[in-house]
Amino acid sequence: MIKLKTFRYGFTPLEIKILNRANNHKSKKFLTGFTLIELLIVIGIIALLLAILLPSFGKAKSMAMRLKCAHNLKQINVAVSLYLGDNEDTYPCVDDPISTDPFYCLWMGRGWRSFVEPYFGGNIDANNPSVLFCPQDKSEDYESTSYSYSMAFYHSSEQIDAMNYTEKHDEQFGSLVPSMPQRYFNVAKPSGKILIGEWDSNHIRIDEDARWWHRGWWSWEGSRNYLFADGQVQYIPAEKIRPAQDGCPNPNVTVGGIKGSDYP
């Protein structure tokens, strides 16, 4: 009788050879790839994950753009502060309209940008709006200037309170009165008076087909980033802004003007 030589673990050379062939066979079978059902399951899982995650990615991008907009206003605040320092704490002031062809007032971005331009180290215009343009502003108007300057900072409180309104946008056309320079120490509530803010609701879109005077600071819809006189920036729904002289959430004509408060 032939006695087979045994190796470690008690397997003979013949048994080891058989085991190796079996393992090789399993390995080749495994390398043949996924079945159709397995592929469909994987694709379904990926599609489900994308459906769950894509809205989150969209919200994250929108939040990033909103924060970029708020950062713009903080940069603008630095420029305004430098301007005040160079002008005896007096805010930008000229008589409206600042231009008639095209027509615009000082409170519009196209009007007040020239006052802060020297503090940004270059020309600011429609092709180079610098920090005056919100990254989510879809408007093709206003020469890429997304932010407005409250006219309460270049009219007295008495002037603002005496303005009469037959239309929501009368401060542009029917209520133009000589401007009166205002100084920082005239602001009664710096933490409550809006100095500059987004004109449109760029981060929560409202009816884009609405007439322009139904948007902007006359609209109770949407939310906007606002820069307050004390330098803070807040993102506030229009419905939280106090009604102004024209009955709208309009920082241009705050009740009490520079001595009044827009929020809270």
CB atoms closer than 10 angstroms to residue 7: 11
Q: What's residue 47's pLDDT?
A: 78
Of the CA atoms within 13 Å of residue 172, those in its CB half-sphere come to: 17
8 A C-beta contact, residue 259 and residue 188: yes
Kindly state whether residue 222 falls inside one of the protein's structural domains: yes
Kindly state whether residue 43 falls inside one of the protein's structural domains: no
Tens-digit pLDDT profile for residues 226-244: 999 999 999 999 999 999 9
Kindly state whether residue 14 falls inside one of the protein's structural domains: no
Output b/e per residue, 30-61; b: 16+ Cβ within 10 A.
Answer: eeeeeeeeeeeeeeeeeeeeeeeeeeeeeeee
Kindly state whether residue 253 falls inside one of the protein's structural domains: yes
For residue 117 the two structure tokens come to 């331009």
The pLDDT of residue 151 is above 70: yes
For residue 182 the two structure tokens come to 């205002």
Q: Residue 135 belongs to what domain range?
A: 49-259
Tell me the average pLDDT across 174-196: 90
Distance, in Å, from the CA atom of 233 to the CA atom of 69, rounded to the nearest integer, reads 10
The pLDDT of residue 198 is above 70: yes
Kindly state whether residue 17 falls inside one of the protein's structural domains: no
Q: Which long-range contacts (CB under 8 A, 24 or more apart) does 46-55 make?
A: none
Tell me the average pLDDT across 96-101: 88
Kindly state whether residue 163 falls inside one of the protein's structural domains: yes
Note the pTM of the prediction, 2 decimals: 0.76
Kindly state whether residue 104 falls inside one of the protein's structural domains: yes
Q: What's residue 122's pLDDT?
A: 76
Kindly state whether residue 19 falls inside one of the protein's structural domains: no
Q: What's residue 82's pLDDT?
A: 96
Confidence class of residue 3 from pLDDT cuts 50, 70 and 90? very low
Total domains in the fold of the chain: 1
Tens-digit pLDDT profile for residues 53-93: 666 655 667 778 899 999 999 999 999 999 999 999 999 99
